[in-house]
Structure 1
Amino acid sequence: MRLHVPALLAISLALASCGQPVNQPVNQPVVGLPAPTAPTPVLEADTGADSLDSQGLPSAGLASSTYGKPVSVKNGTLHAGDKALFPFGFYHVSWMSTPATRKRDMLELSAAGFNTMTASVINDDDDAHYGEFLDAAAQARMYVLSEGVLPGTLPKLVNKPAVLGWMVADDCNLQYTAAQVQARGDAVRALDPSHPTYAALFTSYDNSHPDFFGTTDMMGNMSYPVGPGDSIGSTYDMERLSVVNSQRSGSVPIANLQAFSWGTVPGHDTSARMPTPAEVYNMTYQAVGAGVKGVLYYTYLDSYNSVRRSPGVWEMVKSIVPELAKVSPVLLGAEPQFLDTNNGLIHATAWVYQGHTYLLLTNVSDTLAQPVYVPLNALKPSKLKPLFSGRVTSGVKLNGSVLGGTLAPLAANFYQIN
């Protein structure tokens, strides 16, 4: 995932880069059906303490209490020991930096509360000392997906607590066949059968590359719409495809989300911009609502980008850490239910966890408020309680078993509803 180009250029540049297709359908409200009338508001959002708070679940940081326990994949979810793990962090294209920079950035990510990063070996000398980096990551309680470790070195690292797994192929559907990715994964499994393997690809609405799912234990799927011209709502579509294919294969779906500017990448439109903080927040919860089991942003650092050059985006992603720490038990411990909204620009996902129901609403329009009409009869809602202070905008209310009103552009609202 070094460089990423729009799909129209992917064929000619396939050996060097990959990207997000630009010709997929844009989500639109359902046409031909009468717009339902929003119900009369009767229940305002409750601001009291929610059940997640009362359960004493973590309010900040995603470091697992079982850090250092064996990492495995169970039922399409990562586990550290017996505890489910939601990896949340960044790509780090380390071979474009130095060992000192890689360690510095790892410590900064850990200090911000992230629990996972990718990292790569820089050269043969670095390979010989890579275990020292993993030891430093363990002290910071950071998990690492490593790339480029030489076969003679990898077996010496398998007992390092920081090892989350091994990245065996990047931009994989542009550079390899599914059989080749499988072979690369098998070669790593022969060296270390105790840790998961990981690869990353891009999909299109027309071809989700299902044959690649199952070639590794975890599969990353990219959504980088700001710049190539895709709608921001393509993130939900791409990650839903990834989740469906992962469920069929038993692999862990990881969202690779945009935190870089195409405009800094050579050969691309220099006017392309960085996503705004609101767009990054919205894309993150689109992916969560699609059912992913982890998020890695591209990128903390490569030769052309650093998220730290965009303070607004950096502060935004840091602010998401305690939110995901709070809801990750729900995301990992319950199956998502995808609800009908009668509006292609509004997505609604519910989870029933430990006797309570949680609802995520996202508006993928970046310009217009959208009508919300979500029947919740089967979920038996009794209240509308925002989970994250300061995030929820007004406009959505509960009338009996129906949720209605309007959702602001790029809003992503998480509620407890009973």
Structure 2
Amino acid sequence: MHKLAPLACALTLFLAACSAPSPTKMTLPAPPDTAAQSGPAAEVATEQESAPARAALEALSLNPAPLGAASVRPDGTLLVGGAPLFPLGFYHVSWAAEKSVRVQKRLRDLHAVADLGFNTMNVTMFDPEADIAEFGKLLDAAQGRGMKLLVEDFGEASIQAFKTHPATLGWMIADDCNTRITPQELERRHREVKALDPHHLTYTSMAISFTNSHPEFFGRADAVGNQSYPVGPEGYGDSLAVVYPVMQRLVAEAARTGTLPVANLQSFRWPGGRYPTATELNSMTNQALGAGVKGILYYTYLDPTNDLSTHTGLRTELRTLAAEIKLLAPVLLNGERQTLALTGNLGEARATLWSHEGRRYLQVLSLNETQRQTVSIRVPGGASTLTPLFAGRPKSLSLKAGAVSGSLPPLTAQWYEVR
């Protein structure tokens, strides 16, 4: 069950963004991926198997982010220039870099994030006025790479300088809002920013738990992020299975208020801890997608104790996830999502079906970190074929007697087209 210590640590980490502790070097290695520890290697889909279903998704792919204003559709989908966009990217605590190279580091990391296939960054300014010229250059670079920026400043000088820039997505008006400010203060900031710039987003983030979804903060910003960072130091942290239910709460509250729900997922190591493994990162990401989020910002690419530019293995998995989500984006944003019942999984698996433009896509998740699970899923309307979507990813399910069934390896995230 959920532990209070990691949540307190999550808040502590973000509170630390107000100061600048000296970066520390940490060398704790990540353990082997869990799935590789649990018996024979999982069978994976081949390029030949996945090509037809993937080609159908590619035909649906959204165009690159258009120029223009940002708004939120009543169903919580981000619109940029009137077109749907799945914001996918990173926080960047830019002042954490060594002072002499902060400007260059911020720009270099933006290009690195773009190279990985991401489209969004939440970026801090060094000074609300003295940094305007250099931040303008950062926005220019973002525009050249097809990226959007959330500006971690909401002062009038910044808004007036950047509100007409085509790479501006919006303004971060509060971090950890449920612990730092009142709902009324959040709404005050939102209204003041909207008076200056009605054409871009206001964004805030908080830690939604099992016990409180903080409904009083919804409807007071255009977009709300939920922090879930379960991979803690040895003896601390949560089960990875926490991501799905807390993101469900985010999505439910967002739907009630027409808010964009954004998952804030862990791509860092706690002090004394380690980075998530590729399998853990994949599971957290797919749990958030299955729960119905409309955007993902990983924390973090850079902060005082983390620098993802030095972690090649994790960047490899992030590149793969970015490519997969880009293909899925039209379905995730415009499809009809339905949670399906499973049998045989003891509550540790989830199945979600998306229907879009006459096609159906099935995501099946294992939330168990150590044990295989035997599952069976009845797809509404029946099924005659089951095609894996992504080559190189595990595929262990098949059609048997009209049901999708099989054995799920630990922390598996599997995608299929069902016809």
Deviations 1:206-264 (A, max 9, x none): 1111111211111100110011421101011111110011000100111100000012x
- CA contact under 8 A between 2:264 and 2:297: conserved in structure 1? yes
Q: Aligned partners of 2:80, 2:9: CA distance in 1, in Å? A: 40
Residue equivalent to 2:126: 122
Say if 1:10 and 1:17, in contact at 8 Å, map to a contact too.
Answer: no
Deviation at residue 56 of structure 1 after TM alignment: 4.2
Q: Distance in 2 between matches of 1:121 and 1:415?
A: 42
Point out the more displaced range, 357-366 or 302-311.
302-311
2:247 maps to what in 1?
A: 239
1:164 alignment partner, one of 161, 165, 169: 169
CA contact (8 A) 2:116 2:318 kept: no
Per the alignment, residue 66 of structure 2 pairs with: 67
Q: Secondary structure of 2:352's match?
A: strand
Structure 2 Cα separation of the partners of residues 58 and 341 of structure 1: 29
Indicate if the aligned counterparts of 1:357 and 1:416 stay in contact, CA closer than 8 A: yes
Q: Which residue number in structure 2 is paired with residue 346 of structure 1?
A: 349
1:90: how far off? 0.7
Match of 1:89 in 2: 89
CA 1:13 to 1:78, structure 2 compared with 1: closer, same or farther past 3 Å?
closer
Instruction: Tell me which amino acid in the other structure corresponds to 1:232.
Output: L
Question: 1: CA distance between counterparts of 2:66 and 2:398?
Answer: 40
More helix by percentage: 2
SS in structure 2 opposite 1:110?
A: helix
Amino acid corresponding to residue 359 of structure 1 in structure 2? L
C-alpha contact (below 8 Å) 1:381/1:400 kept by paired residues:
no
The one-letter amino acid of 2:77's match is: T
Q: C-alpha distance in 2, partners of 1:236/1:11?
A: 20
Please list, as runs of the form range in 1=range in 2, the aligned pairs for 1:158-197 lying within 5 A after superposition.
Answer: 158-197=163-202
Judging changes above 3 Å, is the alpha-carbon distance between structure 1 residues 157 and 346 closer, same or farther for their aligned structure 2 residues?
same
- Decide which moves more: 139-148 or 45-54: 45-54
> Partner residue of 1:258?
266
Please name the residue that 2:325 is paired with: 324
Q: Distance in 2 between matches of 1:325 and 1:11?
A: 30
Partner of 1:24: none
Length-normalised TM-score, structure 2 = 0.84
On the 8 A contact 2:142/2:167 being kept in 1, the answer is: yes
CA 1:370 to 1:78, structure 2 compared with 1: closer, same or farther past 3 Å?
same
* CA distance, structure 2, for counterparts of residue 14 and residue 274 of structure 1: 17
Q: Which amino acid aligns with 1:71?
A: A
CA distance in 1 between partners of 2:278 and 2:50 (Å): 27
**Which residue of the other structure, out of 214, 223, 231, is the alignment partner of 2:228?**
223
What is the rounded CA distance, in whole Å, between the counterparts of 2:228 and 2:170 in structure 1? Answer: 22
Amino acid at match of 1:389: A
Tell me if structure 1 keeps the 8 A contact 2:219–2:258: yes
1:66·1:80 contact (CA, 8 Å) conserved in 2? yes
Cα displacement (A) at 1:274: 1.3
Aligned residue number for residue 117 of structure 2: 113
Contact kept, 8 Å, 1:127 with 1:149, in 2: the verdict is no
Over residues 328-348 of structure 1, what are the superposed CA-to-partner deviations in whole Å (9 max), with x where a residue is unaligned? Answer: 100011131111224321011
Change (3 A) 1:83 1:107: same
Shift of 1:14: 9.2
Deviation at 1:175, TM superposition (A): 0.5
| Residue correspondence of structure 1 range 7-406 to structure 2 within 5 A | 7-8=7-8, 16=16, 47=49, 49-54=51-56, 56-57=58-59, 64-75=63-74, 76-97=76-97, 98-123=102-127, 124-227=129-232, 228-263=236-271, 270=272, 272-342=273-343, 343=345, 344-376=347-379, 378-394=380-396, 396-406=397-407
* Whole-angstrom CA distance in 1 between matches of 2:280 and 2:409: 13
Which secondary structure state, in structure 2, belongs to the residue aligned with residue 67 of structure 1?
Answer: coil
In the alignment, the residues of structure 1 paired with residue 88 and residue 311 of structure 2 have an alpha-carbon distance, to the nearest angstrom, of 19
Pairwise CA RMSD = 2.4
Partner of 1:32: none
* Pair 1:10–1:89, CA change in 2 (3 A): closer
Q: After the TM superposition, which of the residue ranges 334-343 and 240-249 deviates more from structure 2?
A: 334-343
1:386/1:416 contact within 8 Å kept: yes
* Structure 2 counterpart of 1:326, one-letter code: L
Decide whether the 8 Å contact of 1:257 with 1:297 is kept in 2.
yes
The alignment partner of 1:392 has SS state of: coil
* TM-score computed with the length of structure 1 as normaliser: 0.85
- State the SS of the aligned residue for 2:342: coil
Count residues with an aligned counterpart: 377
Q: What SS does the corresponding residue of 2:109 show, helix, strand or coil?
A: helix
How far apart are the structure 1 equivalents of 2:246 and 2:205? 13
Q: For the structure 1 residues 14 and 108, does the alpha-carbon distance in structure 2 shift closer, same or farther, using more than 3 Å as the test?
A: closer
Letter in 2 for 1:248: R
CA–CA distance in structure 2, aligned partners of residues 13 and 111 of structure 1: 27
User: Is the Cα contact below 8 Å between 2:231 and 2:237 reproduced in 1?
Assistant: yes
Q: 1:5 to 1:186 in 2, by over 3 A?
A: farther
Q: Which runs of 5+ in 2 are unaligned?
A: 19-46
Identify the range of structure 1 (335-344 vs 7-16) with the bigger mean alpha-carbon deviation: 7-16
Residue identity opposite 2:378 in structure 1: P
Distance 1:288 1:260 in 2: 20
For the structure 1 residues 11 and 134, does the alpha-carbon distance in structure 2 shift closer, same or farther, using more than 3 Å as the test? closer
Identity of aligned residues (%): 40
